[in-house]
Amino acid sequence: MIVDATSLDGLKKSDGYPAEGGLRKYFETTYGGPTSRSFKAAQRNFMESLAAYSIVCYLLGLKDRHNGNIMIDMFGHLIHIDYGFCMGMCVGHEFTMERAPFKLTEEYVEVMGGPNSDCYKEFVHLFVEGLKAARQNSQIALGLVEIMMYRSNYPCFSGSRYGGGQALRGFRERLMLDVPDSMVENNAKALIKKARNHLGTRAYDSFQQWSNGYAI
């Protein structure tokens, strides 16, 4: 059970959510001014959880990342739910709008204090180091995925679109196992640059708002 938490959709629709200023204003209203200890603690919780889930979303190829599938708890942590579209399986298949490596909206960047802030720089550092750590443990992860794929009927492992070992090959590519160690940091930072305020992310959020009423 996820307690003391709500979806970002629910939060944005709740009474008292700031009419202007978005998530950053919500953090300041809830936790205090940007220099307060409580704000900095919540901001760090947000940043660290965002870094972790960015790695998870990228490596596992998680899609359907609208605000109904992303929760936030009372301490500022982000929590992703609903793993129905994973290992590169997309809601619209080849016509998907979700082409970003992971979800990194401008609103998220604002909560961290902007791209020049120490908090954002720490996010970049944690993402890079997390990806390096994943590469170091890649053989265990690849083995587990291969076991799950064996005679699997899960859509992300079967059918003409995703069968034939495509999920495993995609996972291996995302782990950058053929990339020299000296290039991993630059490649990881390129993923962050690509993900930040991605047009496809904005388009998917708008589509979900129009079709299902999820708040942006």
What's the pLDDT tens digit per position in 112-164?
999 999 999 999 999 999 999 999 999 999 999 999 999 999 999 998 889 99
Question: Please, what is the Cα angle at 113 between 129 and 65, to 5 degrees?
Answer: 65
Question: Measured between alpha carbons, how far is 105 from 26 in angstroms, rounded to an integer?
Answer: 16
Summarised one tens digit per residue, pLDDT across range 24-33 is 999 999 999 9
Domain of 109? 5-212
The pLDDT assigned to 62 comes to 96
Low-confidence ranges of the chain (pLDDT < 50): none
In three-state form (DSSP H/G/I as H, E/B as E, the rest C), the secondary structure along the chain is CCCCEEEHHHHHHCCCCCCCCHHHHHHHHHHCCCCCHHHHHHHHHHHHHHHHHHHHHHHHCCCCCCCCCEEEECCCCEEECCCCCCCCCCCCHHHCCCCCCCCECHHHHHHCCCCCCHHHHHHHHHHHHHHHHHHHCHHHHHHHHHHHHCCCCCHHHCHHHHCCCHHHHHHHHHCCCCCCHHHHHHHHHHHHHHHECCHHHHHHHHHHHHHHCCCC
The pLDDT assigned to 13 comes to 97
Six-digit token string for 104: 């990194």
CATH classification of the domain holding 189 = 1.10.1070.11
The pLDDT assigned to 168 comes to 93
CA distances from residue 60 to 11, 42, 130, 145, 161 in whole angstroms, order as listed: 26, 26, 14, 10, 17
**Total number of domains constituting the chain:** 1
The pTM for the full model equals 0.94
The pLDDT assigned to 170 comes to 94
